[in-house]
Copies of this chain bind each other. A is one copy, B any other.
Amino acid sequence: SFSQDIDHILETQSALAVDLGGTNLRVAIVCMKGKILKKYTQPNPKTFEDRMQLILKMCFEAMWEAVRLNCRILGVGVSTGGRVNPQEGVVLHSTKLIQEWSTIDLRTPISDAMHLPVWVDNDGNCAALAEKKFGHGKGVENFVTIITGTGIGGGIIHHSELVHGSTFCAAELGHIMVSLEGPECSCGSRGCIEAYASGMALQREAKRLHDEDLLKVEGMDMKLSEPVTAAHLITAASLGNPKADAILNKACTALGVGIINILHIVNPSLVILSGVLASYYQNPVQHIVHGRALLSAQSIKVVTSDLEDPALLGAASMVLDYTTRRTY
């Protein structure tokens, strides 16, 4: 039938999606309906050469797999930390979360190697595109997404379009500052919400407590060999560790106040949290918004993303949306 034909096209027309994060480098095959058909994960190499080499290697591997799966790859979408000029496909500048990653033309080498069109944008912006196409942002004219991973990224949809800004520095939501001093941030400044509430910030605090032998509490299972993570901090707090609790409270307050700043600047109707810490942050953030935002902004909804992987899906959506609009 006709609808089966359409279904078949939607399943076979696919994108290669690449996500370059502070920790991992991932490549996936994503079909038109937003299903991740195959995903490859490697630690993100520390040097430019190793990183570029691994990107191409993983893309080729995924291409072979796409052939095997009978998927037609329409292009490559790249999500990366740092500021990106999406018109040129160039990473302009990154914080030290991704080293050797400034003034990097990603489009040319990938396009030359793969013989495919390539789109590049910031990971937070990609997450916003994913929410718009596949998630809670579907049909919402003005929304913001905040993705909490190693760092904190974000994207802003205004009048149904991404806000890139005059120097492609809009929606750098991790570097909203909520303290005149405050902890040092990967960007070189202080008091950014990334320095309070990112996975990396919580891990830093967990390690600090652990080093002072103040992390582990009664009933907490933790092997000596285990690396200390944000999850340990959350467990410790839930088991009554007051120091862990205070650190997490401050992280929630910082994130909440940062989000209020977004509400008082662009006033979206919806805030979508994603990343591993999203569901942990949702309620406290909503509570802080109720307590500290201007009355007119208190009604704004804070939700947790239900997407498996917003950055990858958003990278794919650049390909899937552009190629089906037949513009490049």
Contact = CB atoms under 8 A, between A and B. Distances in A.
Interface of A: 83, 92-93, 95, 141-142, 156, 158, 163-173, 175-180, 187-191, 250, 253-254, 257, 260-269, 292-297, 299-300
Contacts of A172: 264-265, 267, 294, 297
A167 B269 contact: yes
Contact of A268 (B165, B171, B175, B188): B165
A49 to B, nearest CB: 23
B269 A166 contact: yes
Given A169-B263, A261-B261, A300-B166, A175 B253 contact: no
B171 A93 contact: no
22 contacts: A93-B294, A93-B295, A156-B266, A158-B163, A166-B268, A166-B300, A167-B269, A167-B300, A168-B267, A172-B267, A172-B294, A172-B297, A173-B264, A176-B261, A176-B265, A177-B261, A180-B250, A190-B292, A191-B257, A261-B261, A262-B265, A265-B265
Contact of A266 (B142, B254, B260, B265): B265
Q: Which of A83, A261, A263 has the most CB of B within 10 A?
A: A261
- 3 tightest A-B CB contacts, nearest first: A165-B267, A166-B269, A170-B267
